[in-house]
Amino acid sequence: MSESVTKRSGVSKSKPAKAGVKGRLFFLDLGGGRVLSANPDGSDIKTIVSEGRKLPDGIVVDVEAGHIYWTNMGNPSANDGSIVRADLDGGNLRTIIPAGGTFTPKQIQLDKANGKLYWSDREGMRVMRVNLDGSAIETLIETGHGDTDRRDARNWCVGIALDVKGRKLYWTQKGPDNAGQGRIFRANLEIPSGQTPANRKDIELLFENLPEPIDLDLDLANRMMYWTDRGDPPRGNTVNRAPMDGETGNRKDSEIVFNHLMEGIGLALDLKNGRMFLTDLGGSVHSADLDGSNQKMLLVAQGNLSGIAYAELPEAKSE
């Protein structure tokens, strides 16, 4: 894996959202069970939901409907994970997947065009999807079954990203802590005819021998994938990127574009403005340009942070 030297700058190059909309971050405090919101520069931080010890992990925003969705891992040793929805201000809390409908849900993504939510289920050893109202829950990928397989962290699905137009999904399997057994995979959005989530033949292994890959995001226009890695340095505690395409065994090495995280978890790309936002379990929110330059620490000591999402919301009209 090739490493790039990150560039640190005290000069702000933040780029405002387009006229009529306002950028907003939504992120999760795993330890405190909170959903938080802030401006992209870290100002105006608010706790909008506080659910207690449900271990929220992944979050996504449906701007058009005015909703946020997030996953709750629950007790990782129990089959009690859930997915909930709220308005952008935290109101009108609604359960989409009740406790036990998924084992340990992690990163979540929205396919707005087709009205679907997709997520990775860690101890469930699955990639799953459901309609936005909680109906028609499906398992798309199954990497193991039963308690013996569940104890093998190589089967744990964590991050997920979608290429809806390309009809592909991407996910990470983190492997044991700092074991260098993490992997990233790709498959079709639909299970091939006559196959099952456990035996489908269209799964591609894109990268292997990674420290602990966690959350994923895609730059489809430039065919680049980005992911956080919470393993040990030098390859862990990083944000990495690599081309999405290329023949297996002949792929370009990934590039480290951000390092020195305190167990990196959440990742959200703001492609319009050429930047990314990320969180770590140490409680910090960071931003940087997509090449890793212009790094800024936006917030510190906010708890144990997990998922993050960026959205451009309509600005309120002045009276």
Write the CATH number for 40. Answer: 2.120.10.30
**Number of structural domains found in the chain:** 1
* Contact assessment for residue 156 and residue 121, using Cβ atoms and an 8 Å cutoff: no
Q: What is the predicted pLDDT for the residue at 2?
A: 35
Domain-embedded: residue 4:
no
Q: Is the pLDDT of residue 312 over 90?
A: yes
Domain-embedded: residue 137:
yes
Closest CA to 117 of 99, 100, 129, 134: 129
* Contact assessment for residue 227 and residue 207, using Cβ atoms and an 8 Å cutoff: no
- Reported as a single tens digit per residue, the pLDDT across 125-178 is 999 999 999 999 999 999 999 999 999 999 999 999 999 999 999 999 999 998
Q: What is the predicted pLDDT for the residue at 248?
A: 63
Q: Is the pLDDT of residue 1 over 50?
A: no
Q: What is the predicted pLDDT for the residue at 3?
A: 35
Domain-embedded: residue 6:
no
Domain-embedded: residue 40:
yes
- Reported as a single tens digit per residue, the pLDDT across 50-74 is 987 799 999 999 999 999 999 999 9
* Contact assessment for residue 209 and residue 231, using Cβ atoms and an 8 Å cutoff: no
CA distance 160 to 88: 23
Q: Is the pLDDT of residue 318 over 80?
A: no
Domain-embedded: residue 10:
no
Domain-embedded: residue 50:
yes
The tokens of 195 are what? 């196959």
Domain-embedded: residue 14:
no
- Reported as a single tens digit per residue, the pLDDT across 214-243 is 999 999 999 999 999 999 999 999 999 999
Structural domain for 75, as ranges: 21-314
Mean pLDDT of 31-57: 95
Closest CA to 174 of 79, 57, 310, 56: 57
Predicted confidence band of residue 9 (pLDDT cuts 50, 70, 90): very low
Domain-embedded: residue 13:
no
